Amino acid sequence: MLRFALTRILMSVPTLLIVSVAVFGLIRLIPGDPASLMLGDLATPASIADLQARLGLDQSVPVQFGIWFGNLLKGDLGQSINSQQAVLPLILQRFWISAQIVLVAVALASLVAVPAGVLAAWKQDTSLDLSLVAVATLLLSIPTFWLGLLLLLFFGLKLEWLPVVGYVSIAENPLAGILYLVMPIMTLFLHEIGVILRMARASTLEVLRLDYITHARAKGLTESAVLWNHAFKNAFGPTWTLIGLVLGNLLGGIAVVETVFTIPGLGRLLVDSIFARDYPVIQGCMLFVAFTYVLVNLVIDLCYPIFDPRVTAQ
Amino acid sequence: MMNRQLASAFALLALASPAAAQTINVALNADIRSTNPGVNRDDNTDAVVLHMVEGLVGYRENGAVAPLLAEKVTTSADELTYTFSLRKGVKFHNGVEMTSADVLWNWTRYMEPKTDWRCRSEFDGRIGMKVTSVAAPDPATFVMTLEKPSALFLDTMARTDCAMVAIIHKDSLKQDGSFDRPIGTGPFMLGDWRRGEFVSLKRFDGYASPPGEKRDGYVGRKRALVPEVKFLAIADGATVKAGLISGALHVADIPDADMPEMRKVPNLQVLSAPSATKHALLLQSRDPLLGDVRMRQAIAAALDLDELVAQASNELGTTNNSAVYVSSPYYSEVQRQRYRHDPARVKMLLAEAGYKGQTIKLIANKRSTVPSFPVAIMAQAMLQAAGINSEIEVLEWATQLDRYSKGNYQMMSFSYSARLDPAQSYNQFSGPKDTYPSKAWDSRRADELIEKATVIADEGERQKLFDELHKLMLADAPLIFLYNQVDTAVVSKRLQGFAPWVASKPRLWEVGLAN
């Protein structure tokens, strides 16, 4: 198991290297630079050049990359051009905020969507199945920003139950902190239900058609035993993979949800940095997102044997 | 009933502290960049920081310059030496009384390259004006000497992007000389800054307000009436509206298009005042097609400016083709002269210029804080109706700014930040394109007039120069100023005393919050 994990982590190094080179190069290909943005409409070529030199942006891109990469190997992701904060602590601070929302939302969505998907498959073509599929499709079709705004209007403005702007850290005030997180979590929860339910239903349906299920039924097992002991374990694999992908994807940034609910998370940090051409933060965020994605999927893979004994971590 | 009880309970929890009831919450469209005055800054940063720090002089309500930390400013006969007599009893946030030694220390710090002060080049001779010496002959007097007379000296000292040459205490810096936090003399002091979330300012109880019966720009009476002001970074416009309607926010700028909706909300009021921000259409005179002045004039005559301005500003703005803002003391009858919508003249000019239907690219952005896109949409429709083909190219702001800086455009819907002195305003867009590609107007005569206006202090003489410049600009049509931004704020009716003004920055002193 340990060897497998280490091998997978080592295999991720080339991926991260490619990501770092690609992000470093691509962000510099986009027109616009931090110096011009900082100086605004009164900038002169001389003042822009002056500021670029102070920010180290006057050197060639390979030299800039060499300096950045050298620091990266020492665990230093640099300093934000915009806020002049160290990038790594900034990312970790913002990531923790996003992770709270994503982990809770995906866990809740999985708890609801997986049994619902299995149930829909079991009762295929009944009104229950049709209703569940319709709800899932509806939730999947609503853009998260729209769903977020609807929740904001209903729970924030109409019922006045939840705060509409701002953010309070759970560490600072647990109860108030939870209140600020309810709507962002609910938005992601509702959206991801649609994604996971459909996959759980499809993979269960596929398994229910296999011969060994017919065999199990022929042995005289109860439907619930067939479903949970035989069908579910085999059907859960693809759903588990999807949950991993969803988790990796969302941990990489839920900028839209964070923008609607004024949550200072990683997604907003990345988007703000792109608009401000804050190169060190963009590079750091992208690298961190790629690393998180690799890590989450590694964890997912390592968990496979728990659900499917045929899969081993060898 | 149950809902209301829950609401009250949740609201109390959300507010998290009893002091929140007396906290004014202001929405900013983005977080501030730093709390270091005039260094790592943008408009939001200036707006917040200028609640905590003050300079020797500041802008009045109408944009004129007046003493702030100074009691009076006297100028020598040769107009080279400025003597600032400091107000007595002014204290920093740490309780230490301000003296001329502090002013001297600040000036020295600002002029050191490592400080990275935005406006150092304005005073060291690189752009024109040069301060040759400074002195603090006694604790209440500070003296500055210029190399040459300059009509812009005090105005530049008062500029908000220069942070009014803020006077901060030495303890604002860490032991290693790097900036820590602003210990200024303003009515509010820094409470807490949670990056990406909010900046909280606390009332400074030892504040010595400048004299005056009422608030007057950045001078006049400046008492902090509430214990706390909180600036929240909220990027999404819909969330800002929800915050205003719910009462969680007390002040916010929202796009003009949303004003009619906000006016209908019972607990809110919409306040507005013309600002000095200028919205314009830039015409690249180095473009093969637009290099012909007749082509530029045809574009100007093709636009029904009143209609364009009404639509782009949601009927809040008034057409102003001048670089001088409408409430400026220099906004004379001549400055009111403008382009007229004249389809017949367009036809004639296009024929004279030999226009063959080439498409003109009009660059715009979709930032919610400026009317770049609606202006472009209206202009394109009007040009099309007049027989001029145009195509809108929507760019993200950083990309547009890059194209602007390089002069790489045909037409551009662009906004210039507020400059209160007309000479500063002309300096924003006028100059040799070979040296400054971003300049829209490359005219030797104009540059001569602007240069004179930066030296001559006599208001009458300056008026003549600005009037000549305006006529010259209308004839040359290097750009078409459309209107001055109407600074609109949506404000809770609980808020008392708040008013937008020409500098387009919120002021939370002399503002109270009714229960």
pLDDT tens profile B378-397 = 999 999 999 999 999 999 99
Give the model's pLDDT for residue B6.
46
Q: Round to whole Å and give the CA distance between B57 and B421.
A: 14
Distance CA B101, CA B139 (A): 7
Residues in chain B: 515
Contact residues on chain B for A175, CB-CB shorter than 8 A: 13
Q: Closest partner residue to B246 among A31, A157, A176, by Cβ?
A: A157
Distance from CA of B380 to the nearest CA of A (A): 24
d(CA A127, CA B435): 74
Q: What interface predicted TM-score (ipTM) does this complex get?
A: 0.80
Measured between beta carbons, the chain A residues lying within 8 angstroms of B10 are 160-163, 179
* Cβ-Cβ contacts under 8 Å, A32 against chain B: 396-399, 401-402
Listed by number, the residues of chain A in 192-251 with a beta carbon closer than 8 Å to a beta carbon of chain B are none
Structural Rg of chain B based on CA atoms: 24
B408 interface with A at CB cutoff 8 Å = no
Residue A52 or A104, more confident = A104
Using DSSP bridges, classify how beta strands B228-233 and B23-28 pair: parallel, antiparallel or unpaired: parallel
- How many Å apart are CA A123 and CA B420, to the nearest integer? 73
Q: Which residues, numbered 129 to 148 in chain A, qualify as contacts with chain B under a Cβ-Cβ cut-off of 8 Å?
A: none
| B148 neighbors B131 (Cβ within 8 angstroms) | no
Is the pLDDT score of B4 beyond 70? no
Q: Is B247 helix (H, G, I), strand (E, B) or coil?
A: coil
Any CB–CB contact under 8 A between B2 and chain A?
no
pLDDT at position B94: 97
Shortest distance, CA B403 to any CA of chain A (angstroms) = 8
Binned at pLDDT 50, 70 and 90, residue B20 comes out as low
Q: Rounded to an integer, what distance in angstroms lies between the CA atom of residue B136 and that of residue B84? A: 10
CA distance B196 to B200: 12
Q: Which of the given ranges, A261-265, B16-20, B100-104, B257-261, has the highest pLDDT on average?
A: B100-104
Average pLDDT in the B323-335 region? 94
pTM of the model: 0.86
* Mean pLDDT computed over every residue of chain B: 93
Q: From residue B346, how far is each of B163, B248, B320, B380, B473 by CA, in Å?
A: 45, 52, 21, 15, 18
Comparing A10 with A193, the larger pLDDT belongs to: A193
Q: Is A171 near chain B, with CB under 8 Å? A: no
B280 burial via Cβ count (<10 Å: 0-12, 13-18, 19+):
buried
Strand order in the sheet with B70-75: B70-75, B81-86, B141-146, B131-138
Residue B117 predicted with pLDDT over 60: yes
Cα separation, B499 vs B511, in Å, equals: 9
Cβ B287 vs Cβ B410: under 8 Å: yes
Question: What's the pLDDT at B2?
Answer: 45
Name residue, tokens 């079991």. Answer: A122
CA distance A14 to chain B (A): 32
How close, in Å, is residue A38 to chain B by CA atoms?
7
For range B446-467, the mean pLDDT: 95
pLDDT above 80 (res B167): yes
A190-to-A100, B346, B383, B423 alpha-carbon distances in Å: 16, 57, 47, 57
User: What SS3 class is residue B111?
Assistant: helix
Mean of all residue pLDDT scores within chain A: 89
Could you report the per-residue pLDDT of B192-205, keeping only the tens digit for each? 999 889 999 999 99
pLDDT of amino acid B15:
44
How does pLDDT run across A245-292, given as a tens digit for each residue? 999 889 877 899 999 999 999 999 999 999 888 999 999 999 999 999
B431-449 pLDDT per residue, tens: 999 999 999 999 999 999 9
pLDDT(B8) > 50: no
- Structure confidence at residue A313 (pLDDT): 53
Radius of gyration of chain A (CA): 24
Identity of the residue numbered A208: L
Question: Can you give the pLDDT at residue B7?
Answer: 47
Q: Structure tokens of A255?
A: 């900028």
User: Residue A187 and residue A151: Cα distance in Å, rounded?
Assistant: 8
Q: Which two tokens stand for residue A268?
A: 């907003």
Contacts (Cβ under 8 Å, ≥6 apart) of B93: B52, B169, B183, B184, B185, B189, B190, B204, B206
pLDDT in tens, A74-87: 989 999 988 888 99
User: Quick one: pLDDT at residue B174?
Assistant: 95
Q: Do B42 and A264 touch (CB under 8 A)?
A: no
Q: What one-character DSSP code corresponds to residue B419?
A: -
Structural tokens at position A58 = 């006057």
Q: Which percentage of chain B shows pLDDT scores above 90? A: 85
Instruction: State how far the Cα of B409 lies from the Cα of B418, in Å rounded to an integer.
Output: 23
User: d(Cα A85, Cα A97) in Å, to the nearest integer?
Assistant: 18
A152 touches chain B (CB under 8 A): yes
Q: CA torsion sign, B131 to B135 to B139 to B141?
A: negative
Q: Which residue has the tokens 């202001």?
A: B26
Confirm or reject contact between B16 and chain A (CB < 8 A): yes
CB-nearest to A44 from B116, B195, B436 is B436
Q: Between chains, do A264 and B195 touch, taking CB under 8 Å as contact?
A: yes
- State phi, psi for B359 to the nearest 5 degrees: -85, 130
What does the CA dihedral B46, B49, B51, B54 come to, rounded to 10 degrees?
-90
The DSSP element (H or E) to which B23 belongs, if any, is strand B23-28
Spell out the alpha helix ranges (H) of B56-193. 100-111, 120-123, 153-158
Report the pLDDT averaged over residues B90-118: 96
Residues in Cβ contact with A106 at an 8 Å cutoff, skipping those fewer than 6 apart: A188, A192, A243, A246, A247, A250
**Is 90 exceeded by the pLDDT of residue B21?**
no
Which has the higher per-residue pLDDT, B167 or A37? B167
The mean pLDDT value for B214-235 works out to: 96
Q: How far apart are CA B188 and CA B203, in angstroms?
A: 5
Confidence of residue B17 (pLDDT cuts 50, 70, 90): very low
In sequence order, what are the residues at sequence separation of 6 or more whose Cβ sits closer than 8 angstroms to the Cβ of residue A237? A203, A304, A307, A308, A311
Q: Fill in the DSSP letter of residue B287.
A: S
List the beta strands (DSSP E) in B365-513: 390-394, 411-416, 479-492, 495-496, 512-513
B246 touches B472 (CB < 8 A): no
What does chain A come to in residues? 314
Helix (H) or strand (E) holding A19: helix A2-29
* Cβ within 8 Å of residue B43, ≥6 positions away: B417, B504, B505
Q: pLDDT band for A312, please (50, 70, 90 cuts).
A: low
Mean pLDDT of B48-53: 98
Band of pLDDT at residue B12, cut at 50, 70 and 90: very low
Cβ-proximal residues to B514 (8 Å cutoff; 6+ apart), any chain: B494, B495, B496
pLDDT number for residue A275: 87
The SS3 of residue B25 is strand
Q: Among partner residues B7, B16, B126, which is closest to A168 by beta-carbon distance?
A: B16
Q: How far apart are CA A161 and CA B6, in angstroms?
A: 6
Return the residue of B nearest to A47 by Cα.
B121
- Are B347 and B341 contacting, i.e. CB atoms less than 8 angstroms apart? no
The span from the CA of A191 to the CA of A246, in Å, is 11
């099309």: which residue's tokens? B384
The pLDDT of residue B354 is 96
* C-alpha B203 chain-centroid distance: 25
Residue of A27, A33, A42, A144 for testing the chain B interface, max B β-carbons within 10 Å: A42
Q: Measuring CA to CA, which residue among B51, B10, B33 is closest to residue B506?
A: B51
* 3-class secondary-structure state, position B266: coil
